[in-house]
A and B are shown apart, each in its own frame.
Chain A
Amino acid sequence: MRIPCPICGSRDIREFDYMGHAQALDRPDPGAGAQAWDDYLHNRDNPAGPTRDLWFHGMGCGAWLVVERDTVSHEVTGATLARDVKGGAA
């Protein structure tokens, strides 16, 4: 498996760490309530098909990426800097 790092180009999976679903970028407001925080912290979908994950290019440029991939075909369809997805200082 290879991931197209927006900075480094296409790189081997060995250079990356999986950091969970991209849902982690959507942090609820502090007062959003127990259900929203429970969903944010613990509850994940398990899709058969397209999904969005966070990957850390720790053995490369050090950027956090949002990678779009398909859990059925294993196709990687895109990668974006998490900073550009999230805005702010990510």
Chain B
Amino acid sequence: MAELVARTPCAGLLPIAGGGVRVTEVDPGPMTAIAPFRGKEKTLAGALKRAHGVGWPAPGQSEASGDLRILWFGHSHALLTGVAPKPTLANHAALTDQGDAWAVVQVEGAGTRDVLARLTPLDLRDGAFPVGACARSEVQHMQAAILRVAGDAYRVMVFRSMARTLVHDLQVAMRGVAARG
């Protein structure tokens, strides 16, 4: 019987550094998409509070509690990371395991916003995108999610199959920022 070895999406690609920025891979633990059934939004919010102690995230928001993080992840859609969802949630929402679907990297350092500004049209300034803010947007040509976890630290998520492209695009942007001194 073959021994299968789990590889993270960015295995062998990260960490990288340059332009005042460091990029590392993040293992967020279990990831589950939560999409409320029609008309069940309110009861789902209550069930989520009872099961995991967090509320349903408003558009563009996230909430963290220990290892658990819940991200607004699009129209009528959130992503629960760090813990497996309690089964009670399935009475109110479609739950889909996304654990092997996303590459998650942390981009941090003084030049982070300059690097990301080369890759996404999102307004990442403090007023528009404070710590905890979460957005779906474009990173180069890829559908991405961006989460601000600290003052100069952002998480960028793309589909797992695009991990190598994401690292490449980050590297090119970091070189560009570094070249401008």
- Report A9-24 CB contacts with B as 1/0, cut-off 8 Å: 1011011000000000
Interface residues of A in 16-74 (CB under 8 A from B): 57-63
Please classify how large the interface on chain A is, using the bins under 10, 10 to 19, 20 to 34, 35 or more: 10 to 19
> Does any Cβ of A come within 8 Å of B74's Cβ?
yes
Given known pairs A7-B59, A7-B75, the reply for A60 and B121 (CB within 8 Å) is no
Q: Which of B38, B59, B121 contacts A15 (CB 8 A)?
A: B121
- The answer to whether residues A59 and B60 also contact, given A8-B136, A15-B137 and a CB cut-off of 8 A, is no
Instruction: Say which residue of B77, B137, B143 sits within 8 Å of A11 (CB atoms).
Output: B137
Q: What is the distance, in angstroms, from A62's C-beta to the closest C-beta of chain B?
A: 5
Known: A59-B138, A62-B136. A12 touches B121 (CB 8 A): yes
Shortest beta-carbon distance, A40 to chain B, in Å?
26
How far does the alpha carbon of A7 sit from the alpha carbon of B61 in the complex, in Å? 12
Per-residue B-contact encoding for A61-90, CB less than 8 Å = 1, 0 else: 111000000000000000000000000010
Q: Is B135 part of the binding interface, using a Cβ–Cβ cutoff of 8 Å?
A: yes
Count chain B residues whose beta carbon lies closer than 8 angstroms to a beta carbon of A. 12
Q: Do A14 and B121 touch (CB < 8 A)?
A: yes
Cross-interface CB contact of B143 among A7, A8, A58, cutoff 8 Å: A58
Complex contacts, B59 vs chain A, CB 8 Å: 7-8, 61
In angstroms, Cα B137 to Cα A60, docked, is: 5
Closest B residue to A16 by beta carbon equals B138
B123 CB to nearest chain A CB (Å): 8
Assuming the A-B contacts A8-B59, A8-B60, A61-B59, are A14 and B75 also in contact, with contact meaning beta carbons closer than 8 angstroms in the complex? no
Question: Which residues does chain B contribute within 8 Å of A9, judged by CB atoms?
Answer: 60
Contact B74 A62 (CB under 8 A): yes
A4 CA to B75 CA, complexed, in Å: 15
Q: Please, how many angstroms separate the alpha-carbon atoms of A32 and B46 in the complex? A: 46
Cα distance A60–B136 in the bound complex, in angstroms? 5
**CB-defined contacts of A61 to chain B, threshold 8 Å:** 59, 74-75, 77, 136
Q: List the 4 shortest-distance A-B pairs measured between CB atoms, nearest first.
A: A12-B121, A59-B138, A63-B75, A61-B75
Please name 30 pairs of A and B residues whose Cβ atoms are closer than 8 Å in the assembled complex, sorted by A.
A7-B59, A8-B60, A8-B136, A11-B121, A11-B137, A12-B121, A12-B138, A14-B121, A14-B138, A15-B137, A15-B138, A57-B75, A58-B143, A59-B136, A59-B143, A60-B74, A60-B135, A60-B136, A60-B137, A61-B59, A61-B74, A61-B75, A61-B77, A61-B136, A62-B74, A62-B75, A62-B77, A62-B136, A63-B75, A89-B38
Q: Which residues of chain A have a CB within 8 Å of any CB of chain B?
A: 7-9, 11-12, 14-15, 57-63, 89
